[in-house]
Structure 1
Amino acid sequence: MSDFIQELRDLHTLVVHQRDRSADDLLQQLNRIGCNFENAWPLPEVLQKKFDLVFIDVTDQPTSVIKSFLNSSGHEPPTVIAVIGYENPSTLDSIFEIGAHALLTKPVRAASVLSGMLMARRYWAEQIRFQKDLSKLRDRLGNLQKINDAKFILMRHHSIDEKGAYAVIRKQAMAKRTTTFEIAQSIINADGILRNIGDI
């Protein structure tokens, strides 16, 4: 547990909440935990890159404005903990739409802050990992499609089967010490140039 708490202490935390009893209780608890935090109100136009975790009061704030703020840093999205004063369909829709990783209800209870931060960071980390894995998978599928396109070009021009076409690509990749994707892309580019010449 001490490792998790130390990780939270290393984060730059922003509390977007007007200074009232709830904000004071939240800031006091963050201070007890040992977090590096700042308070801002009203909602800033731009989220500074240094902030890793954001507590944000979503009550009576347009969802589109909140989303714009959270996406404005041009950096990896922060962990978001929504702070609400009451539960209704509109508020809950807003929480989902802004992509909050955890929820804190008012009045703020000290016992819920630490657990909320821990759960939010874990959910955030899993989400980031999932996005990276998904990006890698999309890249891999894109590469496989390029290789398939290149194979069909070779099959069309050299009257060889699919296995033979792939063997050509692989042999060229080994000879040039590059990837099969790079060779496939070169074949596709060359085919495009030849087609354009033929149209002149």
Structure 2
Amino acid sequence: MSSSLRRLYEDLRSISVAIVYPPGEDRDIVVQQLQRIGCRQKVVWPFPSEPPTGCDVIFFHVSQDLEGSSSWTASATTAALVALSDYESPTTLKLLLDTRAHGVITKPFRSSGILSTLVLSRASQGYQERLQGKIEKLESTIKSRRQLEKAIRVLVENQGLSETKAYEYMRERATSMRVTVAEVAGLILETHEAMEKLGFSPGQKASKKP
């Protein structure tokens, strides 16, 4: 056995799997094959309103109970979702799309297809998680950049600084305060907004009510 294949099996033996499916021969096939693979597992039934927690993978029954439930989606859990479908129909396919499952097994269940589906669903879930992390990091960078640009405009308009001097000022303050430039920009914007609410504006005294 190659080292990469050995690591794959070691990984599968370390994960926790939940099987959300009604009692019977079909569930037994899934449970027994997961036992052969070496996964830690737990059986959950009746069908819960939300995905089980503390699991790496969830094999779940695609049923009418899922219809209209936003709780059973890939975005609502950190686990990989593997749908167990009784049959293919327009309703079932719609439910599968709604859950955004990482894998699907259709009856009749066979032990031969469970390992490959388990591996692929884990890989798919891991890829989506990394992609989401990159998206969130990019969104945070864009937000910080916009805050920085707004803060520079505030200093240019209120302090008469050039854009270059305004940025240098924020960078110096960030160094002395031991915070990021983005945090200094946030403080400047908060202060500016507070002053505007109090009636102050560039070059004007506070407004007075008669």
Give the TM-score of the pair, scaled to structure 2. Answer: 0.85
What corresponds to 1:9 in structure 2?
Answer: 13
1:32 aligns with 2:36: yes
The equivalences for 1:42-121 within 5 A come to: 42-65=46-69, 67-69=70-72, 76-121=77-122
Where does residue 190 of structure 1 map in the other structure? 191
Q: Tell which deviates more after alignment, 17-26 or 155-164.
A: 155-164
Contact 1:70–1:77, Cα closer than 8 Å, also in 2: no
Distance change in 2, residues 1:46/1:95 (3 Å): closer
Q: Note the alpha carbon deviations across 1:22-63, whole angstroms, 9 max, x for none.
A: 111111111111111122222023444222211011034333
Q: Distance in 1 between matches of 2:186 and 2:21?
A: 52
Question: C-alpha separation between the residues in 2 aligned to 1:165 and 1:89?
Answer: 60
Q: Distance in 2 between matches of 1:115 and 1:23?
A: 18
Comparing 116-125 with 182-191, greater Cα deviation is found at 182-191
Structure 1 stretch 168-177 or stretch 148-157: which is displaced more? 168-177
Does residue 140 of the first structure (1) align with residue 146 of the second (2)?
Answer: no
Q: Does 1:18 align with 2:19?
A: no
Matched, 1:153 2:154: yes
Equivalent residues of 2:72, 2:99 under 8 A apart: no
Structure 1 length-normalised TM: 0.89
Amino acid at match of 2:182: F
Q: Is the 8 A contact 1:70 1:78 kept in 2?
A: no
The amino acid of 1:68's aligned partner reads: S
Give the number of the structure whose alpha-carbon radius of gyration is greater: 2
- Percent identical across equivalent pairs? 26
Q: Tell me the amino acid that sits aligned with residue 82 of structure 2.
A: I
Where structure 1 has 5 or more consecutive residues not aligned to the other structure, the ranges are: none
Moved more, 44-53 or 175-184: 44-53
- Say which SS state the counterpart of residue 187 (structure 2) adopts: helix
In the alignment, is the contact (CA less than 8 A) between 1:63 and 1:98 conserved in 2? no
Q: After alignment, is 129-138 or 117-126 more displaced? A: 129-138
Unaligned runs of 5+ in 2: 200-206
Distance in 1, matches of 2:41 and 2:176, equals 56
Q: How many residues in Structure 1 have an aligned counterpart in Structure 2?
A: 197
**CA distance in 1 between partners of 2:51 and 2:98 (Å):** 18
What is the Cα-based RMSD across aligned positions, in Å?
A: 2.1
Structure 1 counterpart of 2:6, which letter? S
Three-state SS of the structure 2 residue aligned to 1:43 is coil
